[in-house]
Structure 1
Amino acid sequence: MNMQWVVDEDLHRIGKEMVQKCDGLPLAIVVLVGLLSKKRPNEGHEVYASVWRFLKDDYIHISTVFYLSFNELHHELKLCFLYLSVFPEDYEIDVEKLIHLLVAEGFIQEDGEMMMEDVARHYMEELIDRRLVEAVRRARGKVVFCRIHYLLRDVAIKKAKEINFVNVVYNEHHSSTTCRREVVHHLMDNNYLCDRRVNKRMRSFLFIGEQKRMLGSYVKTTNLKLKLLRVLNLRGLLFDCEGYIPFMSLPDVICELIHLRYLGVADTGLRHLPSLISNLQFLQTLDASGNRFEGMTDLRRLTSLRHLMGRLLIGDAVNLQTLRCISSYSSSKLQHKSFKNLRDLEIYDSGYVELRRVRLDLSSFSILKNLPALTLESTDLQNIIRSSCVPHGCVLSQS
């Protein structure tokens, strides 16, 4: 069967004119293509007219194309795009972590049978289709890492400032007293962490950047008395609690942040989570990876928990979707039927860490119908598997 493409000569002409007006700037052309890809053929003239109204020096600037594309986004999608401005320039963004943050911020609502995480991933795919975001790496058909071009990031930051969406702090010690989100990049000293003013209206407080740049940095727990906080990410920092650095237990002041949805305390040198953590009844994501906890912490009262990363003990959690860094011993104690929504499971060999090896019967995971991937962390995979019958549709990988 021969396929014949019918080309609208008029659209072809105005398309060439718009590309020429981009003055060879690839990014402007790419975003323009993303904008036109969402239009029906008869709507191309509207884009042409809009572009021509905003010509600067007889050229199409990236800011012009951006605002035309941005203004067509629905409200939630605009928030998702503006949120990308919290990340440093040229930063490879972990899409899964980004999704957890977007959900915790309250930007995402369930849509029918689609979970909030699925809705957020759909939004990210749409931003990629519109060429506003670049997919850096994909795995199993999903975007794993993405990035925003520095020019688009610049205009996103400008737009975010206009609506007081986020306050980004570099090495200057300028903490906003009105903005509800504050982000710190590449901190080089502790002055900001210790001397910052407390903004009681703050909803989100994040440290984002290369961990090695933050090595040895610490935060005074007295600066964390932010009662309305929903999102707190302190990855790679140490806690200064009444002069004790590092403070190896999660400070009680964090356990009093009862509105928290996201808590990131990975690589903070923690050894213990106090029982007071059960106060965080709305907590959806707990990232405590990279810490060596002494004993096990019972998190069974955290019934809203959806994503858990860290060597911790979890009870029955029907909402849990992500469970990483759980030992083979702890895994053997779980009632798998209580984890029906689990989508990501990572188990490490407790024989090397806790000196009590337990062999796994992989067929027991068959009840987890939504589990597409199971990761086993072991140097001796054969010795921890009692049955190699992998559940149907589940991919087994070794790390």
Structure 2
Amino acid sequence: MAYAALSSLAQTTHQILNHDQYLISHDEKQQVTLLRGKVIFLREAFHKFPKQASSLEARIRGSANQAEDIIEHFMYDQIWNHYYSTTNNPHHLHNDLEKAMEEINSISREAEDFTTEDSAALGDDDSPTVRISSSMQQLSGGITVGLDEDLLKIVDSLNGGSSNRQIIPIVGMGGIGKTTLAQKVYHHPKITETFEIRAWVTVSQDYKAQNIYSDLLACFEEVGIERFEQSNECLEVKVHKILKGRKYLIVLDDMWSQNAWDDVNIYFPDDGNGSRIVITTRLVDVASYSSSHLHQMRFMDQHQSWDLLKKKVFPSKDCPSHLEEIGVEIARRSGGLPLAIVLVAGMLSAVSETEFSWKQVAEKVGSAGELEKIISLSYTNLPHHLRSCFLYVAAFPEDYEIRASKLIKLWSSEGFVEPRAGRSLEEWAIEYLEDLVKRSLVLVKERKSDGKIKKCSVHDLVREICRRRAEEENIQHRVSIAHPDLFLLARTYCSTLRSVICFQLISASSLDALRVFKLLRVLDVVDDCNEHPLPAQVFDLFHLRYLAFACPNEIPAAISRLRNLRTLIICPRIRLRRYIEDVVYLPLEIWTMPLLTHLVSYYSLLPDPGVTSPLNRLLELSVGRRFVCTKEITEMIPNVRKLGITYFGGKFRENYQLYNLVFLHHLEKLKLVMEDGYVIPRNVRPVFPESLRKLTLNGWRFPWKYMETIGSLPNLQVLKLRNGACRGRTWETKEDQFPSLEFLEINKCNLKNWVTQGSHFPRLKCLVLFDCSRLSKIPSDIGHIPTLELIDVYSVHKSLVKCVKRIQEEQRECGNDALQVHCTRYRDWKNLMGRVTVTAPATIALIAFIQDLIVERAEN
């Protein structure tokens, strides 16, 4: 958190020094400039000397937070005076900052000492030397549950395949069983019979290459192969000589860096005799660096968890029947993590076999215990810029699936992401999230069609340990997530709290407490389904950067006071009754918020901007209700990258001017939704900018011939045609179309004949056909698309399913085993759909279907 505190303070000092709205004296400006220089120096020290800087972490965090509180209180008073024409200024920046500066100066002097001393001493390797002992004596048989399939798969990989040397990385989070699996493989009879020489070395985090070679030589000695005693040969050469010409298996356990692999790889010869190397690692980057074929470890399911627990607690007898129910619950609470189950089994083995004793253990399960050592190692190995991001994810409620788009906005608003040239804060935040996923600390729950993370979460045990770490680092006075009592927060942290995110219902009176959080940056009260308007005083929280709330029909003009606001998410009170005629009226002042980056309000009526400056920083805009895409509007949002427009509540008008979309030269993602099923006039034909990478059309019923325009887009990678996006029976594609398209979804359309060739979609990877009720077949030539990986079909027609499976069979006969086909007949998922209450969308879809029939007959 110290690094995050420094980054946030750097942004705050930049803000006060570079905005004319803050009136500071010459002396105060010099003082803040000096402070900013110290902050940047300390942040660089964390980059270059992370281990040494960690000794100052608590002091840095405290002093940086104190200095930022002082500056932001001063800024708050300045803005208050501006809007309310007062002269009240109780905070004197120079005097208040002086004490905080004393501590920061002291810390800087200490940092200067170790940066000067260590820069020369570190040389080429700043990792401390740690003796790595051979793991041969540490291997234990143990009990393997849920690994049989993994075991056989890896054993087959080691024994079969190419005669060239191959690397098999086993990747997964700490405690999931990577080493256990590798041990079982290492001692498997088929492996011991196949490989002439085997060796096991634990690499660990603070590795030394020389220690790896020494441990390998020790392993060779243990199996009767003597060292070469020539004193003039280095250890790595000795290892290479012993392995040369022999069929070997090397296990490199617990590898943490790509450098470690580079250090040893060149000394493992490839003699074409089927030699193999197994790597275990927590990091996907390390695994994929050494090989493109990864073995990803999975969590145990509930049955496997209970099976393992029983075998560990009762190795020589059955579990007593009176303990089964509570035992199953204990296994479930262990979260499918093998190490957690083993530790819990140890606790159960030490207590009496009574239901009371087991219930006492059950209450403790989930508190992590010894697992904290493992997960703490993963945490301390994180770069400093990722630590706050990770603790923030772990602060969300248990089992909560976090939308990645929301998370990266929150990180950016909190000041966790450093502004760097060339990329937006959100782009850096996406990279941060992927990094946490690669380290097996954050779990991906769902990915988008373009491969980016859509939803994520953390394992319950990881979350619990991180919650403890967050308490130790005392971040509660800065961030409150899911806290039910705003009044308690107001009494405790009113002068320092930066974030409030609610996940449960709060009363209107409790909302009144929000007004006291003067330094609040993030306020999110959407997920609590609150139907109460925000108190007017909330719009005096001048430091707000992220605001998400449910609201009445009109947003007050006072929202323009939030001059620092980057993200505004507005959800109407009736959002669950989405087809009721209701409009959220945005004020004209929305166009006067220069820092606004994300404006998401699907049911809003966007006012005519009139004469004002463009929102140059706006990257995302999602609106509805009669959005008219005039040339003036496009000039107001020149840099928008993501645009969502929803039309409903009346017949589509010809003067919505969608042809002006072509002037949005930076637009990458576009979603056009027509909710009410009206037939679009034939002369309505949007023209899209060439920058477009993802396009979703929903309910528009454009003629299929319009696909020629879309097919000419050079950068389009994802195309989703949903709910009658196009009308007509035949879609005939042409050469030189869709040059970059990788994902195509055709969802609920009346297409009957698809005339196409594989060359028309040269880069297609995934084809999804959902409820295309008239489509009975697709051209077999689609199977010849060289990049195609998946065809996913949900269909009424048995003939379509047969056609797609036949394409797969043809490809297998041609030696193409990469193409996967997933088919679900309508009768299979109809039962699931039948349990869902019929809603307005279903009615609208039926109306649209009938209208399409009328249109087709009229055209014919």
TM-score bracket relative to the smaller structure:
0.7 to 0.9
TM-score by length of 2: 0.36
> 2:637: which partner in 1?
339
Match of 1:203 among 494, 497, 510: 497
For residues 397 and 204 of structure 1, the distance between their equivalents in structure 2, rounded to whole angstroms, comes to: 39
Is 1:63 the counterpart of 2:372? The answer is yes
Is 1:279 the counterpart of 2:561? The answer is yes
Question: Is contact 1:350-1:357 (8 Å) kept?
Answer: no
SS at match of 2:482: strand
CA gap 1:89/1:334 in 2 versus in 1, 3 angstroms:
farther
> 1:302: which partner in 2?
593
For residues 262 and 654 of structure 2, the distance between their equivalents in structure 1, rounded to whole angstroms, comes to: 63
Q: How far did residue 261 of structure 1 move? A: 0.4
CA gap 1:62/1:363 in 2 versus in 1, 3 angstroms:
farther
* Paired positions, count: 343
Output one character per residue of 1:186-225: Cα deviation in whole Å (capped at 9) or x when no partner: x5xxxx345654322333333343xxx5287763324432
Q: How far did residue 360 of structure 1 move? A: 4.2
> 2:397: which partner in 1?
88
> 1:365: which partner in 2?
661
For residues 372 and 670 of structure 2, the distance between their equivalents in structure 1, rounded to whole angstroms, comes to: 44
Match of 1:375 among 657, 671, 677: 671
Question: Is contact 2:553-2:583 (8 Å) kept?
Answer: yes
Bigger relative contact order, structure 1 or 2 (CA pairs below 8 A, ≥6 apart) = 1
> 1:41: which partner in 2?
260
Q: How far did residue 322 of structure 1 move? A: 1.1
Question: Is contact 1:328-1:358 (8 Å) kept?
Answer: no
Question: Is contact 1:234-1:264 (8 Å) kept?
Answer: yes
Is 1:159 the counterpart of 2:461? The answer is no
Output one character per residue of 1:211-265: Cα deviation in whole Å (capped at 9) or x when no partner: xx528776332443211111111115588xxxxxx654x4321111111101111
Mapping of 1:1-399 within 5 angstroms?
4-5=164-165, 19-20=179-180, 36=255, 38-41=257-260, 62-139=371-448, 140-166=450-476, 179-184=477-482, 187=484, 192-193=485-486, 197-198=490-491, 199-209=493-503, 214=505, 219-236=510-527, 248=533, 250-265=534-549, 268-291=550-573, 292-293=582-583, 295-298=585-588, 299-310=590-601, 311-313=604-606, 315=609, 316-332=614-630, 334-352=632-650, 357-379=653-675, 380=677, 383=680, 386-392=684-690, 393-394=692-693, 395-398=695-698
Q: How far did residue 18 of structure 1 move? A: 7.2
Q: How far did residue 362 of structure 1 move? A: 4.0
* Structure of higher CA gyration radius: 2
Q: CA RMSD in A?
A: 3.7
**Greater mean alpha carbon deviation, residues 230-239 or residues 112-121:** 230-239
Output one character per residue of 1:345-394: Cα deviation in whole Å (capped at 9) or x when no partner: 11111543xx7845544442223233222112213375278114433334
Q: How far did residue 23 of structure 1 move? A: 11
For residues 130 and 157 of structure 1, the distance between their equivalents in structure 2, rounded to whole angstroms, comes to: 19
Question: Is contact 2:661-2:687 (8 Å) kept?
Answer: no
For residues 163 and 572 of structure 2, the distance between their equivalents in structure 1, rounded to whole angstroms, comes to: 56
Structure 1: segments with no counterpart, 5+ residues:
9-16, 25-31, 49-55, 167-178, 240-245
For residues 154 and 23 of structure 1, the distance between their equivalents in structure 2, rounded to whole angstroms, comes to: 29
Name the aligned partner's letter for residue 40 of structure 1. Answer: N
For residues 390 and 161 of structure 1, the distance between their equivalents in structure 2, rounded to whole angstroms, comes to: 50
Name the aligned partner's letter for residue 80 of structure 1. Answer: C
Question: Is contact 1:136-1:145 (8 Å) kept?
Answer: yes
Question: Is contact 1:260-1:280 (8 Å) kept?
Answer: yes
Q: How far did residue 44 of structure 1 move? A: 9.6
For residues 373 and 262 of structure 2, the distance between their equivalents in structure 1, rounded to whole angstroms, comes to: 18
SS at match of 1:20: helix
Q: How far did residue 7 of structure 1 move? A: 5.9
TM-score by length of 1: 0.74
CA gap 1:145/1:334 in 2 versus in 1, 3 angstroms:
farther
CA gap 1:41/1:194 in 2 versus in 1, 3 angstroms:
closer
Output one character per residue of 1:1-34: Cα deviation in whole Å (capped at 9) or x when no partner: x7833669xxxxxxxx97139999xxxxxxx999
Question: Is contact 2:414-2:521 (8 Å) kept?
Answer: yes
Structure 2: segments with no counterpart, 5+ residues:
1-161, 169-176, 185-204, 206-251, 265-278, 281-341, 347-368, 574-581, 700-860
SS at match of 1:152: helix
For residues 22 and 141 of structure 1, the distance between their equivalents in structure 2, rounded to whole angstroms, comes to: 30
Q: Higher helix proportion, which one?
A: 2
For residues 200 and 193 of structure 1, the distance between their equivalents in structure 2, rounded to whole angstroms, comes to: 10
